[in-house]
Structure 1
Protein backbone atom coordinates (compact mmCIF):
# COMPACT_ATOMS: atom_id res chain seq x y z
CA UNK A 1 0.00 0.00 0.00
CA UNK A 2 1.30 3.44 -0.87
CA UNK A 3 1.47 6.32 1.56
CA UNK A 4 -1.18 8.04 -0.55
CA UNK A 5 -3.62 5.14 -0.15
CA UNK A 6 -2.91 4.89 3.58
CA UNK A 7 -3.50 8.62 4.04
CA UNK A 8 -6.81 8.50 2.14
CA UNK A 9 -7.95 5.45 4.13
CA UNK A 10 -6.97 7.27 7.31
CA UNK A 11 -9.13 10.27 6.39
CA UNK A 12 -12.07 8.06 5.45
CA UNK A 13 -11.71 6.08 8.67
CA UNK A 14 -11.51 9.21 10.84
CA UNK A 15 -14.57 10.67 9.09
CA UNK A 16 -16.49 7.43 9.65
CA UNK A 17 -15.59 7.42 13.35
CA UNK A 18 -16.51 11.10 13.74
CA UNK A 19 -19.79 10.95 11.83
CA UNK A 20 -21.11 7.43 12.37
CA UNK A 21 -19.35 5.58 15.18
CA UNK A 22 -18.93 8.19 17.91
CA UNK A 23 -21.37 10.66 16.32
CA UNK A 24 -19.41 13.67 17.52
CA UNK A 25 -19.85 15.29 14.09
CA UNK A 26 -16.93 17.68 14.54
CA UNK A 27 -16.50 18.12 10.78
CA UNK A 28 -19.98 19.61 10.57
CA UNK A 29 -19.09 22.45 12.94
CA UNK A 30 -17.76 25.84 11.90
CA UNK A 31 -15.54 26.04 14.98
CA UNK A 32 -13.61 22.95 13.83
CA UNK A 33 -12.90 24.45 10.42
CA UNK A 34 -12.18 27.90 11.87
CA UNK A 35 -9.48 26.52 14.16
CA UNK A 36 -8.04 23.81 11.91
CA UNK A 37 -5.81 26.28 10.00
CA UNK A 38 -3.86 26.83 13.23
CA UNK A 39 -3.00 23.14 13.24
CA UNK A 40 -2.06 23.21 9.56
CA UNK A 41 0.42 26.05 10.10
CA UNK A 42 2.31 24.11 12.77
CA UNK A 43 2.06 20.87 10.83
CA UNK A 44 3.59 22.50 7.76
CA UNK A 45 6.29 24.07 9.90
CA UNK A 46 7.29 20.78 11.52
CA UNK A 47 6.95 18.79 8.29
CA UNK A 48 8.98 21.41 6.44
CA UNK A 49 11.81 21.14 8.95
CA UNK A 50 11.79 17.35 9.00
CA UNK A 51 11.61 16.84 5.25
CA UNK A 52 13.59 19.94 4.25
CA UNK A 53 16.54 18.79 6.35
CA UNK A 54 16.04 15.24 5.04
CA UNK A 55 15.45 13.82 8.51
CA UNK A 56 12.39 12.15 7.01
CA UNK A 57 12.67 10.91 3.43
CA UNK A 58 9.76 9.58 1.40
CA UNK A 59 9.96 6.96 -1.31
CA UNK A 60 8.98 8.81 -4.50
CA UNK A 61 7.04 5.73 -5.68
CA UNK A 62 4.81 5.80 -2.57
CA UNK A 63 3.63 9.42 -2.85
CA UNK A 64 1.92 11.57 -5.46
CA UNK A 65 4.94 13.85 -5.72
CA UNK A 66 3.10 17.08 -4.92
CA UNK A 67 4.82 18.85 -2.04
CA UNK A 68 3.91 21.74 0.20
CA UNK A 69 6.74 23.26 2.25
CA UNK A 70 8.94 20.26 1.35
CA UNK A 71 6.44 17.71 2.68
CA UNK A 72 4.21 15.54 0.50
CA UNK A 73 0.56 16.60 0.42
CA UNK A 74 -0.31 13.19 1.85
CA UNK A 75 1.05 14.44 5.18
CA UNK A 76 -1.82 16.94 5.34
CA UNK A 77 -4.29 14.09 4.88
CA UNK A 78 -2.61 11.97 7.52
CA UNK A 79 -2.44 14.92 9.92
CA UNK A 80 -6.13 15.68 9.38
CA UNK A 81 -7.06 12.08 10.16
CA UNK A 82 -4.91 12.05 13.28
CA UNK A 83 -6.30 15.33 14.64
CA UNK A 84 -9.92 14.51 13.80
CA UNK A 85 -9.75 11.07 15.40
CA UNK A 86 -8.07 12.43 18.54
CA UNK A 87 -10.59 15.27 18.95
CA UNK A 88 -13.54 12.97 18.25
CA UNK A 89 -12.51 10.55 20.98
CA UNK A 90 -11.81 13.46 23.36
CA UNK A 91 -15.25 14.99 22.80
CA UNK A 92 -16.95 11.59 23.04
CA UNK A 93 -15.27 10.82 26.35
CA UNK A 94 -16.04 14.30 27.66
CA UNK A 95 -19.73 13.88 26.88
CA UNK A 96 -19.72 10.75 29.01
CA UNK A 97 -18.09 12.49 31.94
CA UNK A 98 -14.91 10.49 31.60
CA UNK A 99 -11.97 12.49 32.84
CA UNK A 100 -8.70 11.95 34.55
CA UNK A 101 -8.40 13.24 38.08
CA UNK A 102 -8.00 15.70 39.47
CA UNK A 103 -10.75 17.69 37.81
CA UNK A 104 -10.08 21.29 36.92
CA UNK A 105 -9.79 23.45 40.00
CA UNK A 106 -9.42 20.58 42.47
CA UNK A 107 -5.64 20.50 42.52
CA UNK A 108 -3.67 17.47 43.55
CA UNK A 109 -5.13 17.20 47.03
CA UNK A 110 -1.85 18.33 48.56
CA UNK A 111 -3.12 21.90 48.89
CA UNK A 112 -6.31 20.68 50.59
CA UNK A 113 -4.30 18.70 53.10
CA UNK A 114 -2.00 21.65 53.77
CA UNK A 115 -4.94 24.01 54.18
CA UNK A 116 -6.53 21.60 56.61
CA UNK A 117 -3.48 21.89 58.87
CA UNK A 118 -3.32 25.69 58.75
Structure 2
Protein backbone atom coordinates (compact mmCIF):
# COMPACT_ATOMS: atom_id res chain seq x y z
CA UNK A 1 0.00 0.00 0.00
CA UNK A 2 2.99 2.34 0.20
CA UNK A 3 2.08 3.42 3.73
CA UNK A 4 5.56 4.81 4.48
CA UNK A 5 5.48 6.84 1.26
CA UNK A 6 1.98 8.19 1.94
CA UNK A 7 2.95 9.37 5.43
CA UNK A 8 6.21 10.87 4.14
CA UNK A 9 4.40 12.93 1.51
CA UNK A 10 1.62 13.82 3.94
CA UNK A 11 4.19 15.08 6.47
CA UNK A 12 5.65 17.46 3.88
CA UNK A 13 2.21 18.71 2.82
CA UNK A 14 1.15 19.32 6.43
CA UNK A 15 4.35 21.19 7.36
CA UNK A 16 4.27 23.37 4.23
CA UNK A 17 0.56 24.09 4.80
CA UNK A 18 1.24 25.01 8.44
CA UNK A 19 3.87 27.52 7.32
CA UNK A 20 1.84 29.03 4.50
CA UNK A 21 -1.53 29.14 6.27
CA UNK A 22 -0.79 29.53 9.99
CA UNK A 23 2.79 30.19 11.10
CA UNK A 24 3.67 32.56 8.24
CA UNK A 25 7.27 32.99 9.39
CA UNK A 26 8.59 33.49 5.87
CA UNK A 27 11.17 30.78 6.49
CA UNK A 28 10.97 29.42 2.93
CA UNK A 29 12.18 32.80 1.63
CA UNK A 30 15.18 32.81 3.98
CA UNK A 31 18.67 31.96 2.77
CA UNK A 32 19.50 30.94 6.35
CA UNK A 33 16.79 28.27 6.25
CA UNK A 34 18.06 26.78 3.00
CA UNK A 35 21.65 26.83 4.27
CA UNK A 36 20.46 25.06 7.43
CA UNK A 37 18.72 22.45 5.30
CA UNK A 38 21.91 21.95 3.28
CA UNK A 39 23.82 21.38 6.52
CA UNK A 40 21.19 18.88 7.68
CA UNK A 41 21.45 17.04 4.37
CA UNK A 42 25.22 17.07 4.67
CA UNK A 43 24.87 15.03 7.86
CA UNK A 44 21.79 13.04 6.87
CA UNK A 45 23.30 11.53 3.74
CA UNK A 46 26.30 9.79 5.31
CA UNK A 47 24.48 8.74 8.49
CA UNK A 48 21.29 7.57 6.78
CA UNK A 49 23.35 5.98 4.01
CA UNK A 50 25.27 3.97 6.60
CA UNK A 51 22.10 2.94 8.43
CA UNK A 52 20.17 1.86 5.32
CA UNK A 53 22.86 0.48 3.00
CA UNK A 54 21.47 -2.58 1.28
CA UNK A 55 24.72 -4.53 1.62
CA UNK A 56 24.55 -4.56 5.44
CA UNK A 57 21.51 -2.60 6.72
CA UNK A 58 21.08 -1.59 10.33
CA UNK A 59 17.58 -0.24 9.71
CA UNK A 60 15.25 -2.49 7.76
CA UNK A 61 12.20 -1.30 5.85
CA UNK A 62 9.16 -3.19 4.67
CA UNK A 63 9.77 -2.76 0.95
CA UNK A 64 6.12 -3.08 -0.01
CA UNK A 65 5.31 0.00 2.15
CA UNK A 66 7.54 2.34 0.12
CA UNK A 67 8.42 3.23 -3.45
CA UNK A 68 11.74 1.40 -3.40
CA UNK A 69 13.50 4.47 -4.83
CA UNK A 70 16.85 4.91 -3.09
CA UNK A 71 19.33 7.75 -3.62
CA UNK A 72 22.36 8.07 -2.90
CA UNK A 73 23.90 5.12 -1.07
CA UNK A 74 20.64 3.24 -0.74
CA UNK A 75 18.77 5.95 1.22
CA UNK A 76 14.99 5.67 0.72
CA UNK A 77 13.64 8.90 -0.78
CA UNK A 78 10.95 8.88 1.91
CA UNK A 79 13.64 9.48 4.54
CA UNK A 80 14.42 12.84 2.93
CA UNK A 81 10.75 13.85 3.11
CA UNK A 82 10.55 12.94 6.81
CA UNK A 83 13.85 14.73 7.46
CA UNK A 84 12.57 17.86 5.74
CA UNK A 85 9.35 17.74 7.76
CA UNK A 86 11.01 17.19 11.13
CA UNK A 87 13.64 19.90 10.74
CA UNK A 88 11.27 22.40 9.15
CA UNK A 89 8.56 21.93 11.78
CA UNK A 90 11.15 22.33 14.54
CA UNK A 91 12.40 25.58 13.00
CA UNK A 92 8.86 26.86 12.48
CA UNK A 93 7.99 26.21 16.11
CA UNK A 94 11.27 27.79 17.21
CA UNK A 95 10.57 30.92 15.18
CA UNK A 96 6.91 31.12 16.15
CA UNK A 97 7.26 30.35 19.85
CA UNK A 98 10.86 31.39 20.44
CA UNK A 99 12.30 34.43 22.18
CA UNK A 100 10.00 37.40 22.36
CA UNK A 101 10.97 40.71 23.93
CA UNK A 102 9.35 41.55 27.25
CA UNK A 103 6.72 44.21 26.41
CA UNK A 104 7.00 45.70 29.91
CA UNK A 105 10.75 46.25 29.61
CA UNK A 106 11.93 49.79 28.83
CA UNK A 107 15.56 48.87 28.09
CA UNK A 108 16.87 48.19 24.63
CA UNK A 109 18.56 44.96 23.66
CA UNK A 110 22.03 46.55 23.71
CA UNK A 111 21.40 47.95 27.22
CA UNK A 112 20.38 44.48 28.43
CA UNK A 113 23.72 43.01 27.32
CA UNK A 114 25.84 45.58 29.18
CA UNK A 115 27.07 44.21 32.53
> TM class by shorter-chain length?
0.7 to 0.9
Deviation at 1:95, TM superposition (A): 5.3
- Unpaired runs of 5+ residues, structure 1, are 99-118
1:63 paired residue number: 66
- Unpaired runs of 5+ residues, structure 2, are 103-115
2:13 paired residue number: 12
Deviation at 1:18, TM superposition (A): 1.7
C-alpha distance in 2 between matches for 1:76 and 1:38: 13
C-alpha distance in 2 between matches for 1:30 and 1:9: 25
Deviation per CA, 1:64-113: give whole Å up to 9, x if none: 11112221011001100000000000011125459xxxxxxxxxxxxxxx
Deviation at 1:35, TM superposition (A): 2.9
- Between the two proteins, the alignment pairs up a number of residues equal to 98
TM-score, length basis structure 2: 0.76
TM-score, length basis structure 1: 0.74
C-alpha distance in 1 between matches for 2:42 and 2:77: 14
Q: Structure 1 pair 97/87, CA: closer, same or farther in 2 (3 Å)?
A: farther
- Kindly report the root-mean-square deviation, in angstroms, between the aligned alpha carbons of the 2 structures: 1.8
Is the deviation greater in 32-41 or in 2-11? 32-41
Deviation per CA, 1:10-49: give whole Å up to 9, x if none: 0011111122111112112222123311111111111111
